[in-house]
């Protein structure tokens, strides 16, 4: 048995054991955590292997569906991120979910998620990707809705699932189109034909991109990600910051590797880049006016995902993957840090009710500061700086207008993260929850410290951790390196100054921009227009199909036809012997006539 | 000497009379007698065919053998049929087919 199969199926076995055998056993969290740590070890063993394992799962005529694993630098490197953050989040959750009544369900969900995510990363063909893509959606649904007693959590889970379904439908169409174009679903065997209409190829790529729009929460399907913060904070760190939402970017890069970067030339790539750029801009603007610490981070995640998608669309897939790698560490750190803060402040999430936490919780505060530094890309000493630089360079080379957007987003990022840090961690406590906050225990701060080290250092660890690093191939500096560097440092300094000046020592938000606070009214639009009208219209169409066509014609119609035939012949059975014998005689004559004369 | 067609004509007439009786008459005993008439018509045509279809100068006796069987079976059928009619009369006090409509669907 190859180690890769163990890596894939161990979490599934653990999930099944937890759910079916252990159930209420207090060992469940430990079993899940142990499995996460073992998968991390396996990922390190498998790091850098180049291998393809596959067996036929279903064969229909000449077409066969495979279950296949593909090990290469991309997938093994990604596995380090997934299992590494997964293991740390499991450890963190041991403390965070200590008093939760349903923590066994929580850890079972985490294991299911680890299985699904491993499947996406290692999958060797599109069908398997799609299966695990859906499984990830399910586990995300289960974990967002962990506190399903709260209506908001149940609604958020439903919203996430439905938004993802919308994207996944496009994804499925895209997979079928790619299959039609290349004749294969296996990544390695995909070959573009000699002549291919750029329109068809672009449409296929855009349909595949729909899947990424749903999973990576790009405009216009981004609405589920901020709401997904209703789930427990470690889940937000693992699923909605580091791994699952990055799956869209990962999948796009997998397409780029399989089909060649030139598939992102033309209108498909431009569309992808613009969607990413606009998402990053809109999300950053919304983040500047949020009060919930997790929502700030959620919008920040959206914005950074927009960066990655933009880079992929502009043909800088490696830059996108590099940013995915560094972002995973520092965003997981920020989320776990916010989780520690929320835990210490007795489940208070409003930054205006925090304050002065750096003194109360020095380790958490300092690691949060390091994560913030990486996110706002403090030059030369943080990993985020290097990856963001690559993205800005890709944007600079690809599209000057998007470069402008990206630089402005960098400024906004610095601004809202400074705001969050200043308001939550500096100043004086504004609420007794924050006043009585204590440093969290070692089960929580050890993962924070490890992640903080990686948030700063991951840019130098791309070789040992097997990450995609565009700097390896780059010969010297890009064109306009000075402009990119200058723009990013300028945006950082301006953002820091603006954030400090506006928010230092304030007890309430001096700025009020309802448009940003209300998230451009997009959620309102969905609730009041799309859901209200389109859902009803769609429901009536479905009703028509169901009631009139299927029930009325197909099911009841057949019955009614049989009944009316019966009624017709019933009238002949009048009980009169003479009419029976008459019919009999007539029948005999008819038969004789037909046999003799025809 | 009458030809085969003459016999078949008589046989056909007998059958038609029997069929008309079965269809049109209401008294179940008459219907029953008409049924027997139809059997006789069939017997007549069988005998006629046998007579006019010689094999090696002799009539084909297969047809005549069949007639004996038919007569035997008809006799048995009459016994059963009359018994049923008697039982029917005891139960319903009628042999008129218009009054016997309990098989109505």
At A70, give phi and psi (nearest 5°): -125, 115
Report if residue B15 sits inside a domain: yes
Give domain status of residue B14, yes or no.
yes
CA distance A583 to chain B (A): 9
In chain B, the residue whose alpha carbon lies closest to the alpha carbon of A583 is B23
Q: Are A106 and A87 in contact (CB under 8 A)?
A: no
Residue A69's beta-bridge partner residues? Answer: A53, A123
Determine the residue of chain B that is closest to A584 in CA distance: B23
Interface predicted TM-score (ipTM) of this complex, two decimals: 0.75
**Could you give the angle at the alpha carbon of A132 between the alpha carbons of A126 and A133, nearest 5°?**
80
List of E strands, A32-74: 51-60, 63-71
| Within a domain: B81 | yes
Contact check, Cβ <8 Å, B101/A574: yes
Interchain contact, B23 vs A574, CB within 8 Å: no
DSSP A31: H
Q: Which of A570, A573, A577 sits opposite B97 (nearest CB)?
A: A577
A567: chain B residues, CB-CB within 8 Å: none
Do A577 and B104 make contact, defined as CB atoms within 8 angstroms? no
Q: Which residue of B has its CA nearest to A567?
A: B105
Expressed as residue numbers, the domain containing B59 is 4-99
Phi then psi for residue A25, to 5 deg, are: -65, 135
Domain tally for chain B? Answer: 1
A460, two tokens = 């130098």
Give how far A561 is from chain B: nearest CA, Å.
19
598 residues of chain A, pLDDT tens digit each: 588 888 889 999 999 998 898 888 888 899 999 999 999 999 998 887 888 888 888 888 878 888 888 888 888 888 999 999 999 999 999 988 888 888 889 999 999 999 999 999 999 888 899 999 999 999 999 999 999 998 889 989 988 998 898 899 999 999 999 888 888 888 888 888 877 788 888 888 999 999 889 998 888 888 888 888 888 989 988 888 888 888 889 999 988 888 887 888 888 888 999 999 999 999 999 988 888 899 999 999 999 999 999 999 888 888 889 999 999 999 999 999 999 988 888 888 888 888 888 888 888 889 999 999 999 888 888 888 888 888 888 888 888 889 999 999 999 999 999 998 988 888 888 877 777 778 888 888 899 999 999 888 888 887 777 777 777 766 555 567 788 888 888 888 998 888 888 888 777 777 777 777 777 788 888 878 777 788 788 888 888 888 888 888 888 888 899 999 988 888 777 777 778 888 888 998 899 999 998 7
Contact between B23 and A582 using a beta-carbon 8 Å cutoff: yes
Contact between A132 and A120 under an 8 Å Cβ cutoff? The reply is yes
Indicate whether B49 belongs to any domain: yes
- Confirm if A385 and A393 have CB atoms less than 8 A apart: no
What are A59's strand-pairing partners?
Answer: A64
Contact B98 A573 (CB under 8 A): no
Terminal alpha carbon distance of chain B: 53
Q: Are strands A63-71 and A51-60 parallel, antiparallel or unpaired?
A: antiparallel
> Are residues A573 and B103, on separate chains, in Cβ contact within 8 Å?
yes
- Residue in chain A nearest B104 by alpha carbon: A575
Is the pTM higher than 0.80? no
Distances in Å between the alpha carbon of A21 and those of A18, A105, A578?
Answer: 6, 13, 75
Preceding amide of A536 cis, omega within 30: no
**Residue B104 domain flag:** no
User: Would you tell me how many other CB atoms lie within 10 Å of the CB of residue A177?
Assistant: 18
CB pairs under 8 A between A and B: 35
Q: Smallest Cα–Cα separation from A454: which of A383, A387, A385?
A: A383
* Domain presence at residue B9: yes
Distance between CA A375 and CA A300 in Å, rounded? 9
Nearest to B101 among A569, A576, A582 (CB): A576
| B38 occurs within a structural domain | yes
| CATH (domain of B61) | 1.10.287.3510
Q: Is residue B42 part of a domain?
A: yes
């Amino acid at each position: 048995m190859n180690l890769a199969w163990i890596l894939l199926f161990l979490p599934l076995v653990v999930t099944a054991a937890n759910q079916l055998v252990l159930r209420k056993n207090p060992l469940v969290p430990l079993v899940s955590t142990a499995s996460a740590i073992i998968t991390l070890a396996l990922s390190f063993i498998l790091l850098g292997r180049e291998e393809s394992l596959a067996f036929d799962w279903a064969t229909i005529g000449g077409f066969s569906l495979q279950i296949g694993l593909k090990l290469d630098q991309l997938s093994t490197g990604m596995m380090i991120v997934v299992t590494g953050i997964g293991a740390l989040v499991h450890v963190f959750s041991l403390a965070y979910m200590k008093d939760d009544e349903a923590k066994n369900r929580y850890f079972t969900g985490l294991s299911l998620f680890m299985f699904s995510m491993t499947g996406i990363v290692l999958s060797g063909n599109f069908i398997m990707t799609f299966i695990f893509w859906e499984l990830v959606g399910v586990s995300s649904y289960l974990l967002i809705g962990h506190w399903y007693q709260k209506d908001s959590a149940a609604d958020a889970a439903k919203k996430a699932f439905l938004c993802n379904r919308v994207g996944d439908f496009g994804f499925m169409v895209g997979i079928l189109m790619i299959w039609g174009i290349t004749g294969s679903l296996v990544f390695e065997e995909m070959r573009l034909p000699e002549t291919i209409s750029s329109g068809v190829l672009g449409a296929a790529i855009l349909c595949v991109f729909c899947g990424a729009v749903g999973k990576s929460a790009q405009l216009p399907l981004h609405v589920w990600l901020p709401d997904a913060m209703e789930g427990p904070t470690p889940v937000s760190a693992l699923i909605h910051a580091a791994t699952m939402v990055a799956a869209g970017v990962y999948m796009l890069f997998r397409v780029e590797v399989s089909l060649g970067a030139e598939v992102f030339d033309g209108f498909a790539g431009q569309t992808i880049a613009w969607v990413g750029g606009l998402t990053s801009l809109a999300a950053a603007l919304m983040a500047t006016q949020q009060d919930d610490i997790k929502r700030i981070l959620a919008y920040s995640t959206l914005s950074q995902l927009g960066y990655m998608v933009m880079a992929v669309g502009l043909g800088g897939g490696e830059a996108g993957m590099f940013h995915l790698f560094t972002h995973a560490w520092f965003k997981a750190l920020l989320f776990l840090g916010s989780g520690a803060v929320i835990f210490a402040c007795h489940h208070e999430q409003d930054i205006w009710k925090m304050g002065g936490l750096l003194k109360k919780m020095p380790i958490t505060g300092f690691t949060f500061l390091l994560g913030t530094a990486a996110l706002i890309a403090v030059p030369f000493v943080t990993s985020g700086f290097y990856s963001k630089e690559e993205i800005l360079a890709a944007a600079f080379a690809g599209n000057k207008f998007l470069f402008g957007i990206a630089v402005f987003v960098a400024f906004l990022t610095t601004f809202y993260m400074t705001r969050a840090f200043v308001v939550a961690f500096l100043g004086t406590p504004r609420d007794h929850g924050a006043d009585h906050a204590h440093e969290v225990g070692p089960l929580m701060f050890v993962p924070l410290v490890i992640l903080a080290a990686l948030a700063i250092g991951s840019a130098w660890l791309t070789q040992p951790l097997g990450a995609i690093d565009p700097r390896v191939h780059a010969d010297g500096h890009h064109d306009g390196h000075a402009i990119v560097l200058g723009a990013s440092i300028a945006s950082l300094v301006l953002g820091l100054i603006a954030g400090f000046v506006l928010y230092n020592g304030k007890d309430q938000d001096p700025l009020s921009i309802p448009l940003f606070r209300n998230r451009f009214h997009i959620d309102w639009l969905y609730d009041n227009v799309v859901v209200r009208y389109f859902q009803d219209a769609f429901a009536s169409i479905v009703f028509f199909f169901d009631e009139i066509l299927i029930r009325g014609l197909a099911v009841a119609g057949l019955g009614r036809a049989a009944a009316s035939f019966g009624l017709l012949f019933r009238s002949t059975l009048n009980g009169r012997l003479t009419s029976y014998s008459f019919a009999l005689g007539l029948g005999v004559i008819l038969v004789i006539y037909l046999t003799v004369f025809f | 000497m009458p030809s085969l067609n003459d016999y078949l004509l008589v046989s056909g007439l007998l059958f038609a009379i029997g069929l008309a009786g079965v269809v049109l008459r209401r008294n179940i005993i008459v219907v029953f007698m008409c049924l027997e008439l139809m059997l006789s018509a069939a017997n007549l045509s069988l005998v006629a065919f046998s007579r006019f279809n010689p094999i090696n100068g002799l009539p084909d006796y297969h047809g005549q053998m069949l007639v004996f069987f038919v007569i035997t079976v008809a006799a048995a059928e009459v016994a059963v049929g009359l018994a049923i009619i008697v039982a029917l009369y005891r139960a319903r006090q009628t042999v008129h087919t218009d009054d016997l409509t309990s098989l109505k669907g």
